[in-house]
A = this chain, B = another copy of it.
Amino acid sequence: MRKEITGFSNPLVKRIRSLRDKKHRRREGLFLAEGLRILTEAREAGFLPDMLFRAAGRDAHALEIALEGEVLAAGGDVIETSADILGKLSGKENPQTILGVYKEFSTTLETLDRKSADIWLVAQAMRDPGNLGTMLRTGDAVGAGGLILIDDCTDPFSVEAVRASMGAIFTQKIVQCRWDEFITWLRIGPGQLVGTSLQTEVDYQAPDYQRPCFILTGNEAQGLPETYEAECDLLVKMPMRGKADSLNAAVATSVMAYEVLNQFRLR
């Protein structure tokens, strides 16, 4: 139904604001996504927010009006509030004028259809929410099926990761699992596991990649553990012409993903 919040002391403000902490997200099973662009991606992917907060006193975009109608029809709440309160909810100085509260979701390896896509991204101990969100965004762009998170990765449902994903949090499958679970699952079906690594001389353009291709990227500071590299079908590296020896983790994943896509779209 339609509601209105005018004061910072409203208990719902505190509750929604608390969703910026992982602990509260897990307890409530809810997360935040901001901005009409991301909320529209969500809607097109079949996700409606339980609660939709909108800034009062302005004309709504046609897409926003449609979204509000669907939220109300599905039994959700559309809550009009002030720009200041929206800023407090999202923690941004220049908040978006619309914010959705969504149910968390997840996929298990058992229900993942590996043949539904030619490319899958796999991140190990990814620490930076911006990198994780950017990997989701690139995954969407290359037509990947999803992102498999190995070991202790940053939470994909954080405000920062959702923001960096630009909506791909809703279109990419997300699995969180341990390495041994992943490898056991991987080896019972088709799938080439390709790790980006500094411990190889194989240029990333040299191999013929195989469908479905699982592109594995390690932790930002440490890279992949040696024992994980040993289980890869291929280790490859990008040429490095400068003083440094590595790329940003999301960039490395993206450069690899486009190489694999470029090969696949030729055959």
Contact = CB atoms under 8 A, between A and B. Distances in A.
A251 B164 CA distance: 12
A130 interface: yes
Contacts of A50: none
Contact of A244 (B140, B242, B265): B140
Nearest to A130: B130
Contacts of A242: 139-144, 168, 171
A134 B258 contact: no
Range, interface on chain A? 35 or more
A248 B143 contact: no
| Copy total for this chain | 2
Given A130-B130, A248-B134, A241 B254 contact: no
Interface in A101-150: 130, 134, 137-144
Interface string A11-51: 00000000000000000000000000000010011000000
Contact of A241 (B143, B166, B168, B238): B143
Interface string A233-255: 00000111111101110110011
A262 interface: yes
Interface of A: 41, 44-45, 130, 134, 137-144, 164, 166-168, 171, 205, 238-244, 246-248, 250-251, 254-255, 258-259, 261-262, 265
27 contacts: A44-B243, A134-B248, A138-B247, A138-B248, A138-B251, A140-B243, A141-B238, A141-B240, A141-B241, A142-B241, A142-B242, A143-B241, A144-B242, A164-B248, A166-B244, A166-B246, A166-B248, A167-B243, A168-B242, A171-B244, A238-B258, A241-B261, A248-B250, A248-B254, A250-B251, A251-B251, A254-B254
